[in-house]
Amino acid sequence: MNLLRRNLLRPCGLIVLCPLLAGCRPATPPPTPLSQLNAQQRQGYRDFHVYCSQCHDDRDADSLHGPPLLGVFKQPYLPSGAPANDERVAATIRDGHGLMPPIDIDSQQTQDLLAYLHTL
């Protein structure tokens, strides 16, 4: 019985460990379709393309000069290790971080941009 259990559990353990060892992350749900964005999110989308798209992808997981932002609020932490919340992301936009320069936008633009990032 013990041998049978060991032989059955070993393959199950490998199935569970392989994705973890390979560094796989859970699949990120797709972003909200652009046609379903509200007015604030659409403005944030426009602001994203003015201020952020030179370095960040928004609707796919490809990396440009900075990390992709697809699913940025669907993970508990940002790539920097900071919590993925409005306060931390707004501070990063305002103050910059690492190679990212500070972005000079007003508080309404910041709120619009955050609203858009939440749709990713």
pTM of the predicted model as reported, rounded to 2 decimal places? 0.75
Q: How many residues are listed for the chain in this entry?
A: 120
Q: How confident is the model at residue 90 (pLDDT cuts 50, 70, 90)?
A: very high
- Round the CA-based radius of gyration of the chain to a whole number and report it: 19
Q: Delineate the domains of the chain, giving CATH numbers in brackets.
A: 2-117 (1.10.760.10)
Q: Is 19's pLDDT higher than 60?
A: no
Q: What's the rounded mean pLDDT across residues 87-110?
A: 94
Q: What is the DSSP letter of 59?
A: S
CB atoms within 10 A of CB 18: 10
How confident is the model at residue 3, as a pLDDT?
53
Please state the three-class secondary structure of 78-120 as a single string.
Answer: CCCCCECCHHHHHHHHHHCECCECCCCCCHHHHHHHHHHHCCC
